C-alpha cells in the first residue's frame, strides 16, 4: 500500500499570495460593478433614465391630483353654501349675471377676471 501523502500546511507566503488574489478579485469586481452602474446612470437610453423620468412624472401627477382635490373641496363647500345660504345665492347671481338691486351703484374695473370661477 502506498502511503497517503501528508498534507502540508501552507506557508505564510502562500497564505499572503492567496489573500492578495482574493482582494484583487474583489477590487476588480467592485470596479466593474461601479463602471456598469455609472454607465447605466449616465446613459439616458437605459431603463434607469426612463425610471427617473417616470418618477418625476409621477410626482407631478400627484401634485396635480392634490390641487384638483383642493378645488373639488372648495367647489363642494360653495355648492353647500348655495343650497343652504340665501345670501350666498344672491351673491352668486349678482356676480355671474352682473345684476344690481334698484338704486345700487356698481363699479367695475376692466381687466379683472371672474375670481369665483377660474
pLDDT tens digits in sequence order for the chain, 118 residues long: 455 565 677 788 888 888 888 999 999 999 999 998 888 777 777 777 788 889 999 999 999 999 999 999 999 999 999 999 999 998 888 888 878 888 888 777 776 665 555 4
Which pLDDT belongs to residue 50? 80
**What is the rounded distance in angstroms from the CA atom of residue 15 to the CA atom of residue 2?**
29
Q: Are 78 and 85 contacting, i.e. CB atoms less than 8 angstroms apart?
A: no
Which pLDDT belongs to residue 6? 59
Q: State the DSSP string of 18-87.
A: HHHHHHHHHHHHHHHHHHHHHHHHH-TTSHHHHHHHHHHHHHHHHHHHHHHHHHHHHHHHHHHHHHH-HH
Amino acid at each position: 500500500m502506498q502511503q497517503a501523502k501528508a498534507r502540508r500546511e501552507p506557508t505564510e507566503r502562500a497564505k499572503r499570495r492567496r489573500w492578495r488574489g482574493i482582494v484583487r478579485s474583489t477590487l476588480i469586481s467592485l470596479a466593474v460593478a461601479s463602471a456598469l452602474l455609472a454607465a447605466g446612470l449616465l446613459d439616458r437610453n437605459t431603463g434607469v433614465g426612463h425610471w427617473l423620468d417616470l418618477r418625476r412624472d409621477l410626482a407631478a401627477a400627484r401634485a396635480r391630483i392634490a390641487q384638483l382635490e383642493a378645488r373639488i373641496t372648495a367647489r363642494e363647500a360653495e355648492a353647500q353654501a348655495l343650497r343652504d345660504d340665501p345670501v350666498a345665492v344672491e351673491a352668486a347671481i349678482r356676480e355671474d349675471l352682473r345684476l344690481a338691486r334698484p338704486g345700487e351703484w356698481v363699479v367695475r374695473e376692466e381687466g379683472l377676471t371672474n375670481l369665483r370661477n377660474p
